[in-house]
Structure 1
Amino acid sequence: MIPRPKPTLARRLLSSLAALLIAAGVIVVNRPMVAFAADRYHEFSINRDSYKKTYGHWSMLPVPAGFKVNAIHAALLNTGKVLIIAGSGNNRDNFEAGTFQTVLWDPSDDEFSLVPTPTDLFCAGHTFLPTGNLLVAGGTKSYEKLEADITHPAGVMKIKNESPDHGSRTFGKGTRFLGKNGKVYLTRADVTVPAASKMTHGAKTMVHAGEVEVWVDAEEEGDGAIVSSPAQYSVAGLTGDDANNLYGVAEKITREKQEYGGDKTSYEFDPTTERYIRTADMVDHRWYPTLAPLPGGDILAVSGLDEFGRMLPGVNETYRTAEKRWVPAPSLHRVFPTYPALFLTKDEKLFFSGSNAGYGSDTEGRAPGLWDLHKNDFREIPGLTDVTMTETSSSVLLPPAQDQKVMILGGGAVGDSPVSTARTAIADLDEENPAYRPGPNLPHPTRYLSTVVLPNDTVFTSHGSSGYRGGPYQDKKRSDLLTAQIYHPDTNTFTTAAAPTVGRNYHSEALLLPDGRVVTMGSDPIYDETGKNPGTFEQRIEIYSPPYLFQGDRPTITDGPTLLKNGGTGTFTVADPTTVRAARLVRPSAVTHATDVDQRSVALDMTTGPHGVTVTVPKERGLVPAGWYMLFVTDDRGVPSEARWVKVT
């Protein structure tokens, strides 16, 4: 056999290069096959037990076609069902057709049902009452109009009645007001102007005009009917004293953008009858308000846009739960941007974390602080970095609530800015001089982040986008973030969680279920995946199962009382109580626009007996407001039980 010559270095290099070129060609030609193989391997990896024990697992909830809605609000009821409120769902056609939707989902059997929805609860405020009913107030009275769509100049007309002797006067829709410019302006709605009132000051009698506001539109199209400064208008057809006593005034009538107008209707949703119960109307119309629970069981409504799309100037009001009616709260005058994140503290103050949903002054009312409701005293809390980027940030009262630490996460600049921050910060409200201190950064600059308190004293965070409503940012087509993390307050660190498959930004929600899973829904992107066309509301629902659900058997609460008192005790039967290490009361969520002032996890003092555990509820009403809670017990591996519902009175 003739020996073959040994390949030269040049020949070996040429051979290797040819092999690489052939391999590259195969890869290019079979790129779909390679991608398919990679996807299959990823699916295999995330479904391994070892992966789920470390990172958790996501699954898609099959939602029947008739129950897919634009989830704007979500709340966990004490029946274990999830209330999903769309209202008109940020859809003008639905609004004009009067098509408003609410869906109930039962996680125990994945059954869905529709709930009659009387008015447009889109962008209302909500919170739980001590009874377990969900108070839902405000919402949408009118949709925004962009400048490009406004053909007739419009403005808010204040109609005045200076006669105290002839009673109130009603003006129908389309009443004509005449300007000194010769133009005609028509009212959009029926209004009634109250009579003037007489007030005596010593020997002098003063008359105070009655007044009401209404939108008016110019009869004439175009810019000719624009009035850019305050002016007075007469009512067509009135003569004599009526013409002098009844008139209109308007600051301006223009073709500027008209913001959403707030509604003033108010309801309690009853989890038992699964129906909305009408209560008395709010004092003011409110769109994007926050409803904050007070320690005595009443509710404070703050901020929002009025019926004409104007920011309410610090005018707040209180819901008297026992009377089912709203009353003014003039002693609690305080300006906030819309949907401010307000947390009830154990000393019965409200802490404004700085998080908000956007509308309002760029500067006024945005500073974080502690609000003493008894004195209407607001003490600003310093130390927050990226202080101009609290809009669309998230905030959470860290577990356990006794530590009185509030964390703010992410956020963006005011308005539709693409700029956002990865900053987190923590304020310890138990300190003599509380201040924000830096926490660990998020993996990416993020706004619209979801935060959910878990029963093992950690916080699950997920989704969001780096840009406004997931919009294009720098060289990206979409800025949605398919990431999730778990924050550990004891070590002040994040650990990576399994990645979701559905992007979520504006109008998205997440909340804890009684079985320990987290449900995520909603998202209202401004653009589609190309970054060029209008986006479509995300109607898929995805559920995250944390790692503690893959550790084997869970502790089980088999029996116990339904009612507990502040400062009182209760004994619960638990299978194998020797393994139980902790007990927590977790208040259910009512979340919208990254704002959830309800959720909190309260640590319970606990003793273990031969058949179960005895827990003691803290006595402070500010720490444990009256209402329904999920009771979880956690074993020595950090694995929580399924929840048992208890009512704290």
Structure 2
Amino acid sequence: MSINMITFLLILVSIVTNTLVFGQNTGIQGEWHVLHSSIGISAMHMQVLHNNKLIMFDRTDFGHSNISLPYGRCRHDPHDSALETDCTAHSVLYDIDTNTFRALMVQTDTWCSSGAVLPNGTLIQIGGFNDGDRVVRSFTPCVSENCDWVEFPRYLIERRWYASNQILPNGRIIVVGGRRQFNYEFYPQNQGLFRLDFLAETNDESENNLYPYLHLLPDGNLFIFANTRSILLDYNNNRVVKEYPRVPGNDPRNYPSTGSSVLLPLDENLPNVVAEIMVCGGAPRDGFRRVAHGSFGQALSTCGRLNVSDENPNWVMEEMPIARVMGDMLLLPTGDVIIINGARLGTAGWENGHDPIRAPVIYSLSRPQNGRFSFMAASQTPRLYHSAAVLIPDGRVIVGGSNPHEYYNFTGVEFPTELSLEAFSPPYLAEEYAVVRPRILSLHENIGYSEFFTLMFSVPQYLSSEVLTVRIVAPSFTTHSFSMNQRMVVLKLIGVEHVAPHTLKVTMRGPSTAEIAPQGYYMLFVVHAEIPSSGVWVKVQ
């Protein structure tokens, strides 16, 4: 046996062992780093932008924040329920590359709102509370320090408080639901308002149909999950195509008995792309009512997976290692799912969560059923109601927020309002994996549908094309334990060739359709032996 082959096998055994077991040291269980002890606001909503900036905001009616608006500006709003004149900011723009931030100005209340990024990279933010419930706001990334929110009052047909959004194949945004809103509409607005009885049917005394889970499927239809039920909606014809089986247990998964949901990676290397939905956590049916009487019951410990590409799908249930409510589910570059933030007891809502869970878990799709979860290192900071998390291009997960109080409250409470921002580095970023970590050298930044394109990457020890994938990840708008518009596509791999020592060229095919990957900006990762490169922004068009 050659020395190269022996080296190959030793490295492979080491990677598989560490990846499957996540050894004992801190690096293999991930690491936490505090980025800022305070960013001035509590990051209730988050969106990564294609210029490596992260926009965050909370709500205008919390009272004074801990960061002033620039240039002596003040917000004057006679309708605000907390402060008619407020010279502090309730939104910030964080620069990932420089670890700095600056204040932004929102005029109307963004509390419990939603958002999606247009194909041109502009964030469209939808609704909120009070004077902000029919407002559309936009933020367009810029190279200067002057870009800020632009507001369009009374743009929406109906008030949108706790609504969800999904970017569509044609570049438009569908806006679904919200409190006492059993309908949907579109941005830009030109089609009117559409009744959706499903949302009325899934309403209950605790309103467990808020922030419905939306996932665009490869056939172009929209998967909608609310409470315990889910449907396939043909939004072009306002027609429910089918209803799926109820998730077992009859316990609510949407806000306020908050679980979370992701669309698992869509793999274009398969003969037929398979779409599978995963829903985890939540609280028992009577959990929200019991909390109102001071009884904090245990959260749900189950996850369900539903293969919606199957003609007659059924939920496949698995147990998490710990019950969790208010957890955020994010797709990592490897295709694994991290569940982060939340609590073991109670539900979402003010003062409704107890026993915070500081340790995330990672769910590995490549492992056998009932052995897919691994505990990660714990943060020192509890993240309860109104916390959020997003994946950023270098592979870290940025975490912020947590304000389970009606206003900013820093003293005399068990869980004070949290203004800090921190980053979790998953195990794949550990130095132990440097030998197989790819680094992207060059690529085409514009990707056409079904078009071939190439990229160059280097890696100290290349193993095999069998452990090589190229993936694109759409950045999510995260709030209230749901990451809207999040999706991953594993691109069709055409060929790999060595072009220099430790340097390879990969040929791939762009996404097949806009239904699989809507137009817009994505983070592209090369994943080698389950270790990802840093991501590079590309535009699918």
TM-score range with shorter-chain normalisation?
0.7 to 0.9
Name the residue aligned to 1:552. Answer: 434
Distance 1:634 1:535, change over 3 A: closer
1:539 to 419, 426, 437: 419
Contact residue 514 and residue 630 of structure 1 kept, 8 A: yes
Distance 1:531 1:85, change over 3 A: closer
Per-residue CA deviations over 1:99-145 (Å, capped at 9, x if unaligned) read 55211111212011112223222222101111111110111226xxx
Contact residue 589 and residue 599 of structure 1 kept, 8 A: yes
**Is 2:220 aligned against 1:348?**
yes
Name the residue aligned to 2:366. Answer: 490
**Is 2:518 aligned against 1:625?**
yes
2:172 to 288, 298, 301: 298
Q: Supply the AA of the counterpart residue of 1:277.
A: V
Q: Supply the AA of the counterpart residue of 1:131.
A: N
1:319 to 187, 195, 215: 187
Distance 1:89 1:583, change over 3 A: farther
Is 95-104 or 78-87 further displaced after alignment?
95-104
The alignment's TM-score, normalised by the length of structure 2, stands at: 0.78
Residues in 1 aligned to 2:363 and 2:381: alpha-carbon distance in whole angstroms? 21
Name the residue aligned to 2:9. Answer: none
The 5 A counterparts of 1:191-230 are: none
1:598 to 457, 475, 485: 485
Residues in 2 aligned to 1:506 and 1:50: alpha-carbon distance in whole angstroms? 31
**Is 2:134 aligned against 1:264?**
yes
1:298: how far off?
0.8
Contact residue 353 and residue 369 of structure 1 kept, 8 A: yes
Residues in 2 aligned to 1:507 and 1:576: alpha-carbon distance in whole angstroms? 40
Residues in 1 aligned to 2:26 and 2:413: alpha-carbon distance in whole angstroms? 37
Per-residue CA deviations over 1:30-57 (Å, capped at 9, x if unaligned) read xxxxxxxxxxxxxxxxxx9961342111
The 5 A counterparts of 1:236-247 are: none
Name the residue aligned to 1:392. Answer: 258
Name the residue aligned to 1:134. Answer: 123
Per-residue CA deviations over 1:146-190 (Å, capped at 9, x if unaligned) read xxxxxxxxxxxxxxxxxxxxxxxxxxxxxxxxxxxxxxxxxxxxx
Name the residue aligned to 1:464. Answer: 342
The 5 A counterparts of 1:78-89 are: 78-88=50-60
Name the residue aligned to 2:457. Answer: 574
Q: SS state of the match for residue 265, structure 2?
A: coil
What residue ranges of structure 1 are gaps of 5+ in the alignment?
1-47, 143-261, 306-310, 356-365
Name the residue aligned to 2:323. Answer: 445
Contact residue 281 and residue 301 of structure 2 kept, 8 A: yes
1:277 to 140, 150, 164: 150
Residues in 2 aligned to 1:409 and 1:555: alpha-carbon distance in whole angstroms? 32
Residues in 1 aligned to 2:184 and 2:120: alpha-carbon distance in whole angstroms? 23
The 5 A counterparts of 1:340-419 are: 340-354=212-226, 367-375=229-237, 376-390=239-253, 391-400=257-266, 402-412=273-283, 413=285, 415-416=288-289, 417=291, 418-419=296-297
Name the residue aligned to 2:46. Answer: 74
Q: Supply the AA of the counterpart residue of 1:548.
A: Y
Q: Supply the AA of the counterpart residue of 2:139.
A: F
The 5 A counterparts of 1:8-157 are: 51-63=25-37, 67-88=39-60, 90-91=62-63, 94-98=82-86, 100-141=89-130
1:344: how far off?
0.4
Name the residue aligned to 1:339. Answer: 211
Name the residue aligned to 2:496. Answer: 608
1:530: how far off?
13
Contact residue 469 and residue 524 of structure 1 kept, 8 A: no
Residues in 2 aligned to 1:351 and 1:530: alpha-carbon distance in whole angstroms? 40
Residues in 2 aligned to 1:264 and 1:332: alpha-carbon distance in whole angstroms? 19
Distance 1:89 1:586, change over 3 A: farther
1:87: how far off?
3.0
Mark the structure with the bigger radius of gyration: 1
Q: Identical aligned pairs, as a percentage?
A: 28
Residues in 2 aligned to 1:481 and 1:471: alpha-carbon distance in whole angstroms? 17
Name the residue aligned to 1:641. Answer: 533
Contact residue 93 and residue 104 of structure 2 kept, 8 A: yes
Residues in 2 aligned to 1:515 and 1:589: alpha-carbon distance in whole angstroms? 15
**Is 2:140 aligned against 1:287?**
no
Residues in 2 aligned to 1:462 and 1:505: alpha-carbon distance in whole angstroms? 10
What residue ranges of structure 2 are gaps of 5+ in the alignment?
1-21, 64-79, 201-208, 268-272
Residues in 1 aligned to 2:210 and 2:351: alpha-carbon distance in whole angstroms? 25
Per-residue CA deviations over 1:176-230 (Å, capped at 9, x if unaligned) read xxxxxxxxxxxxxxxxxxxxxxxxxxxxxxxxxxxxxxxxxxxxxxxxxxxxxxx
Name the residue aligned to 2:6. Answer: none
1:277: how far off?
3.1
Residues in 1 aligned to 2:55 and 2:526: alpha-carbon distance in whole angstroms? 25
Distance 1:535 1:93, change over 3 A: farther
Per-residue CA deviations over 1:327-367 (Å, capped at 9, x if unaligned) read 41337665262211110000111112336xxxxxxxxxx52
Name the residue aligned to 2:315. Answer: 436
Residues in 1 aligned to 2:342 and 2:107: alpha-carbon distance in whole angstroms? 31
Q: SS state of the match for residue 387, structure 1?
A: coil
Residues in 2 aligned to 1:136 and 1:470: alpha-carbon distance in whole angstroms? 22
1:425: how far off?
0.6
Name the residue aligned to 1:421. Answer: 300
Q: Supply the AA of the counterpart residue of 2:159.
A: H
Contact residue 398 and residue 407 of structure 1 kept, 8 A: yes
1:505 to 362, 384, 400: 384
Per-residue CA deviations over 1:515-574 (Å, capped at 9, x if unaligned) read 001111111235999999475321122211111111225311121211111212221121
Q: SS state of the match for residue 403, structure 1?
A: coil
Contact residue 343 and residue 350 of structure 1 kept, 8 A: yes
Q: What RMSD over aligned residues (CA atoms) do the two structures have, in Å?
A: 2.9
Residues in 1 aligned to 2:471 and 2:307: alpha-carbon distance in whole angstroms? 21
Residues in 1 aligned to 2:477 and 2:328: alpha-carbon distance in whole angstroms? 13
Q: SS state of the match for residue 123, structure 1?
A: coil
1:648: how far off?
0.4
Q: SS state of the match for residue 335, structure 1?
A: helix
Name the residue aligned to 1:479. Answer: 355
Q: Supply the AA of the counterpart residue of 1:630.
A: M
Per-residue CA deviations over 1:249-301 (Å, capped at 9, x if unaligned) read xxxxxxxxxxxxx6211122101263223447111122111112222111111
1:95: how far off?
4.9
Contact residue 471 and residue 479 of structure 1 kept, 8 A: no
Residues in 2 aligned to 1:95 and 1:479: alpha-carbon distance in whole angstroms? 33
The alignment covers a number of residue pairs equal to 456
Name the residue aligned to 1:521. Answer: 400
Contact residue 71 and residue 89 of structure 1 kept, 8 A: no
